[in-house]
Amino acid sequence: MKLKNISNIKWIGGKHGKEERYIELMSEHKIFVDCFFGSGAVPFYKEVINPAKLTIVNDINDKLMNYMLVLKDNPERLYRECSALPFSEKLYEIYKWEPWPEDEIESAVRFYYMMRVCFAGGGHKYRNGIGLSKSVNKAKQLVGATELIPKMAELIRNWTILCRDFEDVIDFYDTKDTLFFLDPPYHEREDLYAGGFKEEDHKRLKKKLDSIQGKAMVCYYPSDLIDDLYHDWYRTEYSTASQIRVRKDGDKQPMRTELILMNYRPNIQIDFLKKELII
């Protein structure tokens, strides 16, 4: 039975509703490392249905990982303060322009509100305004997301939470029993993210993955650079609705192609496998 969303983190390129596509393609492993945590949809879902012996989550976004640490260490206060937040454009604009709080819990509450209320979610520079809708009750949606906090806190009790460059994390946790899950900023969409990821970083990531003992699953949009870098990996693709573009009334939901790239042959038979690894 498919689970409902477990993570309340709304993020550019988040994998909410698509988690099983990735989990069913994962290799056997004892150590699971998510190097670009983002929405955390996949590791949260995985923790429910197939937890690893050791789970490490990492992201260079310090506000995101502070939220995760507060979620783990002080979920009761986080839940209480987030529950008191209204869905308000005025509050959103105040939070957007006020200096960011130094207190860890206040920072986590601010982060939660901004990424839940902003159009397209967190991960970027909050250049967009509040996300409004004629068909979805956004206030009710915010309440529902807040109600996930206690469950999320329980799931991450045994996780290791890091805020480092991906290369440092890969170097430390690489073993033959490690599966690296990598959902980096998408090529030619880097400006949408905070963190300063550049084209050289895509190349640096692939170079590092070429030297690992463990297995790796990487998520991308198709592009000439990505197709060239990962030409010798197993790959599959699927179409999904894009949440980035603002639609006018009557516009169809824009679609995008998601790539799943693997340095190993998946154990299951799938009809949509596009390329075999070249030996």
Handedness of CA 233, 2, 32, 116 (dihedral sign): positive
Task: At 231, give phi and psi (nearest 5°).
Answer: -65, -25
The one-character DSSP state at 100 is P
Would you call 231 exposed, middle or buried from its count of C-beta atoms within 10 A (0-12, 13-18, 19+)?
exposed
Q: Return the structure tokens found at 98.
A: 């006020």
- Residue 198 annotated as binding? no
Q: Please, what is the end-to-end C-alpha distance for the chain in angstroms? A: 38
229 CB-contact burial (10 Å; exposed 0-12 / middle 13-18 / buried 19+)? buried
Q: Is 59 annotated as a binding residue?
A: yes
Q: How far is it, in rounded angstroms, from Cα 164 to Cα 81? A: 28
103 is in an annotated binding site: no
Q: Would you list which residues are annotated within the binding site? A: 11, 15, 59, 183
Q: Would you list which residues are annotated within the binding site for S-adenosyl-L-methionine? A: 11, 15, 59, 183
